[in-house]
Amino acid sequence: MRYFDDPLFQTISTHTPEPAVLGIGASPRAKGNSDLLLTQVLKGASQQGSDTRKIHLRDVAFSPCIGCERCRKDRICTGQRDGMSLLYPDIIASKGLVLVSPTHNYNITAWMKSFIDRLYCFYNFTSERPGPWSSQLGNQGRKAVIVGICEQETKEDMGFTMDAMGLPLKALGYDIVGELPVLSVFGRGDVKKKEATLAQAFELGTTLSRALAES
């Protein structure tokens, strides 16, 4: 089954316009620092004229990848029909992507890890194992920025947070045009006290929008 042949996806795609920039927040805590930073990035993109959409994964009922491998044939996730199915239209349509996650145990949150794993369906594989692979999203001028938030003082204490977002996106065909590791922030809304950090997040959004316009 091809993506646009699925009646579920056809129904979803008629309800909302396609965003140029899709923002994905992976914090379990509402109205916290991750939410504020995601909002700032999207404000920067919007000011440059990009249409944006914001998704908080805590509000999406979806499961991790179950490794059924049906996507190797169907080229989209058909092994599960859940909230992630509702996100695929925007992921495909949006050339710009923003990922924001706090650090949990030296890594991204479980929500972000599950989201990234569910992007596995966009890979193309041959019958060889191991063998060559490519991405359905590759060579399309896709751009992304990533933001990580950590309560500790050094980037080493963020562990794999930035790489866990950046490396999969690069493999999928995204050009990472900006990264922002945010340190020494924990209390809800504490990032409001860091005007320079908020300005950096805003600038990430403008950088992303400009990069998309130039591609």
Q: What are the domain boundaries of the chain? A: 3-214
3.40.50.360, 3.60.20.10, 3.20.20.100, 3.90.180.10: which CATH number matches 3-214?
3.40.50.360
pLDDT surpasses 50 at 8: no
Spatial separation of the C-alpha atoms in residues 3 and 58, rounded to whole Å: 25
- Residue whose entry in the numeric block shows the structure tokens 């359905």: 136
Q: What pLDDT digit, counting tens, does each position of 92-150 carry?
A: 999 999 999 999 999 999 999 999 999 999 999 988 888 899 999 999 999 999 999 99
Nearest CA to 65 out of 123, 114, 124, 137 is that of 114
Q: What is the pLDDT of residue 62?
A: 96
Tokens standing for 12?
């979803």
Q: How confident is the model at residue 88 (pLDDT cuts 50, 70, 90)?
A: very high
Q: What pLDDT digit, counting tens, does each position of 38-82 carry?
A: 999 999 999 999 999 999 999 999 999 999 999 999 999 999 999
Residue 185 to residues 36, 60, 137, 192, 203: CA-CA distances in angstroms? 12, 25, 34, 10, 19
Spatial separation of the C-alpha atoms in residues 195 and 205, rounded to whole Å: 16
DSSP secondary structure letters along 98-159: EEEEE-BTTB--HHHHHHHHGGGGGEEE-SSSS--EEETTTTS--EEEEEEE-SSSSGGGGT
Spatial separation of the C-alpha atoms in residues 61 and 35, rounded to whole Å: 18
Q: What is the pLDDT of residue 1?
A: 34
Q: What is the pLDDT of residue 128?
A: 87
Q: What is the pLDDT of residue 11?
A: 44
Q: What is the pLDDT of residue 117?
A: 98
Average pLDDT across the chain, whole number: 91
What is the DSSP secondary structure assignment for residue 15, as one 8-state letter? T
Q: Which tops the pLDDT comparison, 162 or 128?
A: 162
pLDDT surpasses 50 at 177: yes
Q: Quick check: pTM over 0.95? A: no
